[in-house]
Structure 1
Amino acid sequence: MFDKATKKLVRQIDHKGALIASSRLNDSGKLQVLAVVQKTQKGWFWQQTKYRPTGFKLNDLLEGDPIKPVCEEKEFVSFEGEFNTSVAGSIELGSSPVCLNANGQGTSKLSLSLGNLKKEDVDIPTLLKLTRGRKLDLKNSFFKQSPQKNMTFTLLKERVFTTHDCSISYTDLEKASCQAVVGFPEIMTKQCMKDSGEFQYGSKTALRIPPDTVMAYSVIEMTVESDGYFDLCVLPSGLESDDISQNPHPTFSEVDGQWPLIQEGFPLTTLKKVPGSGHNSNEAL
């Protein structure tokens, strides 16, 4: 029920954003600033990327003195919500002499009363300065026990948490029925046998969560070299390109249609794309 509530919250406040819904209430204590979170990449297209808090912080793995990151805590949002879901379906299988008919219906209601939520952020530019040139202790048991396949290490850089006691309630009702008809065509007199059944299930659960419970968080990926040095990936999805412009000729003047003078450091390959050039690329180079 807790994961249903956090997913619904993230869908409402940061749809398709960077926030990750906390899936387990018991992990809340591990989701602190600069906590190490293992990211498991999906192996198949239908699978989802998974995040698992480790209980370790960056300072637990660093060689030398610990760092003191700069963090900012501020009011984020006040959230109350009630969400209803209803689904129904039926199916009929078979033909004479056997026929099976099944029907199902389900309804659910999720109520969230979270009140005021706060957000804590790490100042990334300061963090980059503090970690520049630092190394991780690869002899730490954490690295020896961590599987390597499809595994990425991340650091928690942002978290959204409760400020007082909050309540979550979930009501679920399911109904199902089934009817079977079996005929006996080989008997001269038309005969058949019918059987039917019904099933109903309902539940209502309420959960009260304490202050400082982490509902959502975001991470920054960390690449670790074999010698212990590491880098933090500040661009989304690990973009390494130095040109993310969608304009194929970003330096082309749209006013006079002229190309500017080539400056130091300008990529020579651009000369191949000069429109109206009377020379081939080899001559230009």
Structure 2
Amino acid sequence: MFHKATRKIVKEIDPYGGTLIPAASPYFSDGFKPLYIIRKKEKTWFFTKDKYIPTSVTLAEILKDGKDLDIGLQSSKFCNYGASKSISGGVDASVCIVDAGVHASGGVADIISTVELKKRVISEKMLLEATKDRKIDRGHIFVKKLPGDIFYVISEVVETDRPCDLNSLFEAKGGVAVPTDIIKAKGGADVCSKENLTFHAGTTIAFKLSKLRITEDDTLDIVWDDWLRSHLESLYQTPEIPLTELTKLSKDVSQLFLNTFLQILGNSDNLPVLVTMLDQICEGFQPDLQVLGLMEDEDRACVEKLLDLLGIRKVDPPGQPLTLTPHQNEVIKTVNIFIQSLNELNPDTLILLATSVEMKIISRQLKLVEKVEERFFKRSKHEMQNNRAEETLESLALQFTESEFEITQGILEEFGFHLKRENTSISYEMKDKNEDMFCSIFTALSVLKALDDRVNK
């Protein structure tokens, strides 16, 4: 909900893109402030978007004599659900007013009140001037874990100047069975789920990064990237999800994972929090679990349940190196890709996926998606070798009952594929093909099928 709103705001105030990065969750707002260091995971063949992982480390902390580093910065405090207390950052800033209005996708509408935004900027010139006579501490744990001499620091933030309300409404109209443990409604009745988020002044909406390089004499320099090169889109490739370790889980543990994933599918607001934590874990560090105390009880319990299944101890301080077994690392890697994929999808599609698990149609849906891929996306060698002539897209689509077909139809529309059925006649067309969404759907179905197969083996 929050990420959808910030993306819309960024699109309005930065229409040409390439500079501002929308914040994914208000929970990690304190980690997205000027002079905080960010771990940037470059886009890969699987995910065509860069990912940004907050740290609790500031630029001053990795300098040998950084304690007295002063560029006149001030920080805002964190926001929380249902809080009415207003907190002002007290910083001189330029202010712009954006009416984010109402935007909807499928059965989901997010309504955000008028937001007053302020900007805090550190120019590269000011940054270099303030650090020119200071040396990097090569003994600092963050510096020692760097794969090279490049890192990123936040040089600009756009944040709320006053408290703001964000409301989300999900509606599912008649005919589709929705699992009772997800939205607590079932059958032909309309389903309505409302959520409200209040976040304070000083909540980060978007940020910019400066790319820094540690020189041979341990000072800092700015790295200037080619803008066009950094925005080239990756060519589509069939996702290869690492499912091996997931399929080795016991039936009981697989059931626990599946039940937890169903809870997550029912509340998409947990996804940005999990994305950030899993990225931190995949980087080899204990995640920042302090945000758990700021979440509502039901949301916190869901996140804690997944962390327990992954073997993450909640007693360790954030930012400390993790010691995990190869099996744990592979399972975490798979879960991270899965959660990243879910985070790209619309909340109504997540509900349809959960319903598909309950109706035991995930396996057939995955086969259908593979046939769509063969016809409209680049086919991989593996799939060409295993293509079964007796199963066609049309024959697979005809295997669904009316209610199953309706659910499957909604899932396929997420990446632009429109499927229709009249009696025994199947028709389809691809409109506005979205390869990123296809990869996300493919991944979600693959992981859910792997767990479902283990549970029902």
Q: Give the TM bin, normalised by the shorter chain.
A: 0.5 to 0.7
More helix, by proportion = 2
Matched-pair contact (CA < 8 Å) for 1:19–1:216:
yes
Alpha-carbon separation, structure 1, partners of 2:225 and 2:150: 15
Residues 42-121 of structure 1 mapped to structure 2, 5 A cutoff: 42-44=43-45, 46-65=47-66, 66-69=68-71, 73-86=92-105, 106-121=106-121
Closer/same/farther in 2, CA of residues 61 and 36 from structure 1, 3 Å limit: same
Does residue 208 of the first structure (1) align with residue 198 of the second (2)? yes
Alpha-carbon separation, structure 1, partners of 2:65 and 2:126: 18
Matched-pair contact (CA < 8 Å) for 1:168–1:207:
yes
Matched-pair contact (CA < 8 Å) for 1:113–1:168:
yes
Q: Secondary structure at the match of 1:136?
A: coil
2:163 counterpart letter in structure 1: D
Alpha-carbon separation, structure 1, partners of 2:137 and 2:228: 24
Tell me by how many angstroms 1:138 deviates.
1.7
Q: What is residue 148 of structure 1 aligned with on the other side?
A: 147
Closer/same/farther in 2, CA of residues 169 and 37 from structure 1, 3 Å limit: same
Tell me by how many angstroms 1:201 deviates.
3.8
Closer/same/farther in 2, CA of residues 2 and 138 from structure 1, 3 Å limit: same
Tell me by how many angstroms 1:69 deviates.
2.2
Alpha-carbon separation, structure 2, partners of 1:79 and 1:238: 28
Matched-pair contact (CA < 8 Å) for 1:75–1:118:
yes
Q: Secondary structure at the match of 1:5?
A: helix
Q: What is residue 7 of structure 2 aligned with on the other side?
A: 7
Residues 165-180 of structure 1 mapped to structure 2, 5 A cutoff: 165-175=163-173, 177=175
Q: CA offsets, 1:132-181, max 9 Å, x none?
A: 2532112112234x4639x9521111111112211011112234757xxx
Residues 180-199 of structure 1 mapped to structure 2, 5 A cutoff: none
Closer/same/farther in 2, CA of residues 128 and 152 from structure 1, 3 Å limit: closer
Q: CA offsets, 1:258-285, max 9 Å, x none?
A: xxxxxxxxxxxxxxxxxxxxxxxxxxxx
Residues 220-259 of structure 1 mapped to structure 2, 5 A cutoff: 220-225=210-215, 228-234=218-224, 237=227
Tell me by how many angstroms 1:237 deviates.
4.3
Closer/same/farther in 2, CA of residues 8 and 205 from structure 1, 3 Å limit: same
Alpha-carbon separation, structure 1, partners of 2:23 and 2:47: 21
2:115 counterpart letter in structure 1: G
Matched-pair contact (CA < 8 Å) for 1:85–1:109:
yes
CA RMSD of aligned residues (A): 3.0
Matched-pair contact (CA < 8 Å) for 2:32–2:204:
yes
1:84 counterpart letter in structure 2: H
Tell me by how many angstroms 1:7 deviates.
1.2
Which protein, 1 or 2, shows the higher relative CO under an 8 Å CA cutoff with sep ≥ 6? Answer: 1
Q: What is residue 160 of structure 2 aligned with on the other side?
A: 162
Query: Which moves more between the two structures, 167-176 or 15-24?
Result: 167-176
Tell me by how many angstroms 1:205 deviates.
0.9
Alpha-carbon separation, structure 2, partners of 1:154 and 1:142: 12
Matched-pair contact (CA < 8 Å) for 1:38–1:152:
no
Q: CA offsets, 1:22-74, max 9 Å, x none?
A: 11212111222111111110121642101111111110110124322266842
Tell me by how many angstroms 1:114 deviates.
4.1
1:67 counterpart letter in structure 2: L
More strand, by proportion = 1
Q: Secondary structure at the match of 1:29?
A: helix
Alpha-carbon separation, structure 1, partners of 2:71 and 2:228: 22
Matched-pair contact (CA < 8 Å) for 2:152–2:211:
yes
Closer/same/farther in 2, CA of residues 176 and 136 from structure 1, 3 Å limit: farther
Q: What is residue 41 of structure 1 aligned with on the other side?
A: 42
Alpha-carbon separation, structure 2, partners of 1:229 and 1:201: 58
Q: CA offsets, 1:65-93, max 9 Å, x none?
A: 4322266842331122223335xxxxxxx
Matched-pair contact (CA < 8 Å) for 2:39–2:54:
yes
1:157 counterpart letter in structure 2: S
Alpha-carbon separation, structure 1, partners of 2:41 and 2:216: 20
Does residue 131 of the first structure (1) align with residue 121 of the second (2)? no
Q: What is residue 97 of structure 1 aligned with on the other side?
A: none
Structure 1 gap ranges (5+): 87-105, 179-196, 240-285
Q: Secondary structure at the match of 1:68?
A: coil
Matched-pair contact (CA < 8 Å) for 2:108–2:170:
yes
Alpha-carbon separation, structure 1, partners of 2:192 and 2:221: 51
Closer/same/farther in 2, CA of residues 238 and 130 from structure 1, 3 Å limit: farther
Q: Secondary structure at the match of 1:81?
A: coil
Matched-pair contact (CA < 8 Å) for 1:31–1:214:
yes
Tell me by how many angstroms 1:107 deviates.
2.0
1:76 counterpart letter in structure 2: V
Closer/same/farther in 2, CA of residues 64 and 30 from structure 1, 3 Å limit: same
Alpha-carbon separation, structure 1, partners of 2:93 and 2:130: 23
When Rg is computed on C-alpha atoms for both structures, the one with the higher figure is 1
1:148 counterpart letter in structure 2: P
Q: TM-score, normalization: structure 2?
A: 0.40
